Amino acid sequence: MKKVLGAAAAAALAVSAIAASPAAAFTPLNPDMMPAMQQDLGLTYDQAVAALATENAASALSESLTAALGDTFAGSYYDAATKRLHVDVTDAGKLDQVKAAGADAGVARFSATQLNSTVDKLNSAEGTAPKSVTTWGVDSKTNRVTVTVEPGKAGDVDSYLARTGVDKAAVTVVESADRPSLQYDVRGGDAYYIANKARCSIGFSVTGGFVSAGHCAAIGSSLTGYNQVAMGSFTRYSFPTNDYSLARTNSNWTPRGVINNGTRVAGSTEAATGTSACKSGSTTGWTCGTIGAKNQTVRYAEGTVYGMTATNIRSAGGDSGGSIIAGNQGQGLLSGGNSTTMYFFPLNKALSALGATLIRG
């Protein structure tokens, strides 16, 4: 026990030390996370670093107190306003122990074990749950299991709880019309399928969908993602002469300003000939080379395409439509090539022709 409490105390000291000098004590592992935190959470860079530092320390303290408190542990949560960890216990005699470790403390009715057991019982009978019930799970702040149900259907929950034999006092029922659905990210380089047969690659996310190669589009045919989930449909394409297309995605998919290896798409500034560039495609993955000659006319057997850019980046069938990016700047949509040269259609020309807006990461 002394060893566990010692770990908790050490974590508490870490919280204090980090709070005093967050930037010096913590280095974010993923730099791309910082702009997102600044944008979505309204933080400065230093505030984002400080938040990650104190949150990580609070998580370590929560883990050690969970072990130290055993069955009296009733849940924990990080309070962003106070920048402190709050821990609830079922035994008031444990309050001082929690405070001594460096967390705020409170007394709650149900232990974390009891709440998790309630979830387990609901899970075991999930097959009999009414369709109106959409979610359930532990809420550490309220010390209850929250069950979400469609508006006006609270009675469905009562009958379900009765069948499962859970303690109704441990459950809070919330009505919501916002039913959850599966969601997937639209990312450059990921595969998509036309009519469940032909496979190509996503180029770049745009508002409401994505752009790809024109020869990889078919109006009126089904469009599914890398996981064979319905994705939406193509609304416009141009091939030959050009080689671009626009797909509108459905509500299951969220366009993101990233390539599928995590590279952020910051814009579409055209790179100079001779500079390095990389490609992401669903066949050969991530390959790199250099930007070659521009304004190239390429005469495929299927038709001629004008204004393309040559590269020595390696690619293969199925990579068509994939992302060409230089640094964090999108360059184009993979069109085709031979054993030594790969051609792409310039992204800015495609965006302009389609009236599409690039999503930036």
Catalytic residue selected from 64, 76, 320, 335:
320
Q: Which of 88, 156, 243, 319 is catalytic?
A: 243
Residue type (1 letter), 256: R
Give yes or no: 215 in active site.
yes
Pairing of strands 253-259, 184-188: parallel
Choose the catalytic residue: 190, 215, 238, 268: 215
Question: Is 243 labeled as catalytic in the residue annotation?
Answer: yes
SS3 readout for the chain? CHHHHHHHHHHHHHHHHHHHCHHHHCCCCCCCHHHHHHHHHCCCHHHHHHHHHHHHHHHHHHHHHHHHHHHHEEEEEEECCCCEEEEEECCHHHHHHHHHHCCEEEECCCCHHHHHHHHHHHHHCHHHCCCCEEEEEEECCCCEEEEEECCCCHHHHHHHHHHHCCCHHHEEEEECCCCCCCCEEEEECCEEEECCCEEEECCEEECCEEEECHHHCCCCCCEEECCCCEEEEEEEEECCECCEEEEEECCCEEEEEEECCCCECCECCCCCCCCEEEEEECCCEEEEEEECCCCEEEEECCEEEEEEEEECCCCCCCCCCCEEEECCEEEEEEEEECCCCEEEEEHHHHHHHHCCCECCC
Exposure pattern of 297-331 as b/e (b: 16+ CB <10 Å)?
Answer: ebeeeeeebeebbbbebbbeebbbbbbbbbbbbbb
Q: Which residues carry out catalysis?
A: 215, 243, 320
